[in-house]
Structure 1
Amino acid sequence: MWLDRYSAVCQECPDLVAVYEAPDSRIALLLRQTLVPLPVEFASLRRATRSAARAASSKLRAAGFRGGFMVLQWQPLATVAAVMRDWPCRYAADAARRAQLAAVAERYAADERYLANQAQSRRRAAPRPVGSLPPFATAAELHGLQSWYDAMAPSWLGIEPLLRRGLVLKAHRWVAEHILIPAADGRTAPFEIRETITRLGFALIEMIPPDDRAVWSVWVGLVVGDLERAMRRPSADWNQAWARWLLLIAYSVPIPRERPAPTWPVRLTSLVGVDPYHI
Structure 2
Amino acid sequence: MYTRSFDPWKNKLCTCPSKFSLNPYTGCAHGCLYCYASSYIKEFFNCRAKQKLIESLQKEIKKIPANSLISLCNTSDPYPPMEKKFELTRQCLKIFKEHEMRILILTKSDIVCRDVDLLKDMRSCVTITVTTLKHYKQLEPNAPSSYERFRALEKLSKDLPTGLRLDPIIPFINEYEIESILKLARESGVKHVTASTFKPRWDNWKKLKLAYPEFASSLNRLYYKNGQKIGNSRYLSTDLRKKIIFRVKQICDSFSFTFSSCREGFPEFNTSSSCDASHLIR
Give the TM-score of the pair, scaled to structure 2.
Answer: 0.25
Which structure has the bigger radius of gyration?
1
Which has the larger strand fraction? 2
